[in-house]
Structure 1
Amino acid sequence: MVVTRSSAASITARSLPQTKTWSHTPSPLFLLWLCISLPLVMWDFTYVFLRPHSMPGGKWHLPWTPYSIYCEVDLVYGFKHYEDGEGFNPAQSTLNILETAMYLYYLYLVRNYRGVQKKGEHVGIFGERKMYGKDAAKAVLWGLVPCVATFWKTVLYWLQEILGQYKNIGHNSPNVLFWFWIVPNSPWMILPGYMIYIFGKEIVDGLAIASMEAESNGIANGVTKEE
């Protein structure tokens, strides 16, 4: 059988699903998370890189007063690790700086999007709205990459304790460990993990739409098939 140009449009209409315009809608939950987490992360890596002055007894300790408790709970942040020249905490904090820069660029893309707004489209409390085209693609990329980095870096942080016989946190009681280590550190796996799923789904949707459009255009342009 020969599929002719004249019958291609009919076949396309019957056999191919209707495509839609791919877009990215910034998640209000993710934007709220960034508004909370980024200042905390910046507070954390400045503590690390300003040691020993930011540590208890240091001349700049005042802004980091809660760390007088946390460095006793998690010895990675304590005096012994610093005095022994352990590199894990500074290495993690270096990655925090890079991740923060990428998150800030995502926020910049979302906040400064000036694409065409369709009638009736919602503008969120953070000024976010649905994004289209290359701007949307860039936003998804710069949202996904740091989420992946944050998620797996946090997994690594947990695994070094689990596989290292809890040498930095094992001295805590279960109650202290839960409230001062597990609860504060869990969100950096849960929220980025959720957003990896959301951003990944958007990428898959975009590729599916592009694939359907390419298939549709191929038939409409008179691609033939003989049986």
Structure 2
Amino acid sequence: MPEQNPQTTSGNKIRIITQVLTTAVKLWLRSQTSQISALEVEIKASDRQLFSGRIPSVSVFAIYAVYQGLLITQIQLIAENIRVNIGSVLKGKPLRLLETVSVVGDLIVDEKDLNASLSSDLLSTALSDLLVKVLPTDYPQSQPIKWQEIILGDNQIILRGLRVTNSETTPLEICLGLQLLSGNKLQLVHIPIKRDREDILKDNYEYNLDLGSDVDIEELTLIPGKLVCRGRINVNP
């Protein structure tokens, strides 16, 4: 029987571990989404790091990922200093994060994909929470709004919908300017609408939105038909 080269055997083991980890990462990512059209994962780690369950870097590229009903056109992520349950993964169990992971990413959402997500709980809840904060105090909060369209312009968002009452349905619009104040704070500025639709926000106002300490946005850009975001977020176990 030919002798096996110890280095070759070790290399084969590392490749197997890398393949198992790559598969586990893909399965974990797919478990976080309901759909992904394309997914690429690359793991960068030394032999010793792999055996210990520590991974210095994982890069992820995905197209048309659906997260809680929200369609993300394109996303590219780099996760650093990851610690996972490597022993359990090698036994066929699901991958689990053992520590908080810092993730740097670029995200693109096209206007058409954002509109396709209007029925999602994530987006509809976000719009409803926003309205509660910015609507005038005399506006009937109980009247539901059926959102129909989101238009992305130069650093502004136009929301179009229908206000539904027992007697009538009234078209309405909200136009908001968007500005990044800091890594985790956004400012929304009301821009009056001069059209035949009802503008339910009559006065100028500014509202600051706190995204939390786990978010650090470096760039947030609205251009006609597209939202582009670059930043860092902490993913907790």
Q: What's the TM-score bracket when you normalise by the shorter of the two chains?
A: under 0.3
TM-score by length of 1: 0.20
- Give the helix-richer structure, 1 or 2: 1
- Give the strand-richer structure, 1 or 2: 2
TM-score by length of 2: 0.20
